Amino acid sequence: MSPAEDNAIRTSARNGWILSTPALVILFFAASGPLLIVLIYSFLTPGQHGNVVWDFSTNGWVGILWSKDIFSEEWMLADAHLAIFWRSLWLSLMTTAFTFLVGFPTAWFIATRPPKERALWLFLITIPFWTNLLIRTYAINEVLRKEGLMNTVLMGLGITDSPIEVLYTQTAIFIGMTYVYLPLMVLPLFAAIDRFDMKLLEAGYDLYASRMQVLRRVILPIVKPGIIAGSILVFVPSLGAYVTPRVLGGGKQMMIGNFIELQFLQGKNWPLGAALSMLLLVIVMVALLVYVRYANKGSSHG
């Protein structure tokens, strides 16, 4: 490479950094800045009426798994916190798994329709995004409550004699999150299946493979990037969900998002709330790193 070409490349790179500087500054102050403030707050001391006292303390991070007895002031394992973490993780995983079980055949059905019909089906899938999340959650509330649509239909058909108590349970939260996040699973799956070469199915059947073998050894490995992307898109917001557990759980089935809100408002323990927020961020980052790793592995094999 000649000196002139090398100088031109350096100049182009320098101009690129100069042009991107305003965007990088905005990104830092709009995204990294608030996160840095939350991180700093997690290592401070709670104030008496909220806010923080600027004295270094690790009690916010210790309080994630341990709580201090109000009488003896001894630290003990925070069983309630662990129950909230487990409930959040379990419901998020169940929501992800069930949205996949429902979303995969739905995406396959849409991808195998004629091109003119696909637009209509995709339009129907995206319609819920036009409505506010709170309104959609209250709609599920109206379906699941004692005098709601579900109990009215079940009692009208004679399946049950009395209303089923579903609202304000983990089942209600699971149903609500599945309904809310199902489109986030269907759309990536559709994008992956739409690129699938259907001739591979014929090749599998010509080699005397059963339907289950074709699904397990041909279809799923090829559409795996869509499965991983859809799982991440569902798992991440489910883990930090606030509105759906608050409305359908009624405060009885608290998840991490509600627990963080409780620490900042009623609990007046901002360092613990900040530490919980950073913990949730770390979990999300780990999930994204796993997605990137498997996506890169799938593309390299492809």
pLDDT in tens, 171-224: 999 999 999 999 999 999 999 998 888 888 888 888 888 888 888 888 888 888
Please state the rounded mean pLDDT for residues 267-284: 91
User: 66 lies in a domain?
Assistant: no
CA angle 31, 130, 96 (to 5 degrees): 70
CA distances from 81 to 67, 70, 78, 85, 220 (A): 9, 17, 5, 6, 37
Give the pLDDT of residue 30: 80
pLDDT bin (cut points 50, 70, 90) of residue 235 is very high
Please state the rounded mean pLDDT for residues 272-279: 93
Proportion of the chain above pLDDT 90, given as a percent? 36
Please state the rounded mean pLDDT for residues 287-302: 67
Pairing of strands 45-46, 52-53: antiparallel
Domain of 122? 75-301
Give DSSP secondary structure letters for 112-164. TS-HHHHHHHHHHHHGGGGS-HHHHHHHHHHHHSTTSHHHHHHHHTTS-SS--
Please say whether the beta carbons of 189 and 182 come within 8 A. Answer: no
- Range scoring the smallest mean pLDDT among 152-156, 202-206, 295-299: 295-299
Read off the pTM. 0.84
Q: How many residues are there in the chain?
A: 302
User: 55 lies in a domain?
Assistant: no
Q: Would the pLDDT of 20 be above 60?
A: yes
Q: Would the pLDDT of 131 be above 70?
A: yes
pLDDT bin (cut points 50, 70, 90) of residue 108 is very high
Residue 15 burial (C-beta neighbours within 10 Å; 0-12, 13-18, 19+): exposed
CATH number of the domain bearing residue 111:
1.10.3720.10
The stretches of the chain forming alpha helices (DSSP H) are 3-27, 33-41, 59-62, 79-111, 115-126, 133-144, 149-156, 170-194, 199-206, 211-214, 220-222, 224-239, 243-249, 256-264, 270-301
User: 3 lies in a domain?
Assistant: no
pLDDT bin (cut points 50, 70, 90) of residue 296 is low
Instruction: Return the residue matching tokens 């055949």.
Output: 105
CA distances from 188 to 105, 239, 288 (A): 13, 19, 15
Please state the rounded mean pLDDT for residues 126-144: 89
Token pair for 188: 């990536």
Between 205 and 281, where is the model more confident? 281
User: 248 lies in a domain?
Assistant: yes
Q: Would the pLDDT of 59 be above 70?
A: yes
pLDDT bin (cut points 50, 70, 90) of residue 277 is very high
- Provide the 8-state DSSP code for 77: E
User: 191 lies in a domain?
Assistant: yes
pLDDT tens-digit map of 31-50: 788 889 999 999 999 988 87
- Range scoring the smallest mean pLDDT among 180-184, 213-217, 260-264, 289-293: 289-293
Q: Would the pLDDT of 114 be above 60?
A: yes
pLDDT bin (cut points 50, 70, 90) of residue 267 is confident
Give the pLDDT of residue 116: 84
- Range scoring the smallest mean pLDDT among 3-7, 158-162, 260-264: 3-7
User: 240 lies in a domain?
Assistant: yes
From 293, 277, 302, 290, select the one nearest 232 (Cα to Cα).
290
Please say whether the beta carbons of 288 and 233 come within 8 A. Answer: no
Give how many domains the chain has, as a whole number. 1
Between 296 and 18, where is the model more confident? 18
User: 69 lies in a domain?
Assistant: no
3-class DSSP assignment, residue 45: strand
User: 46 lies in a domain?
Assistant: no
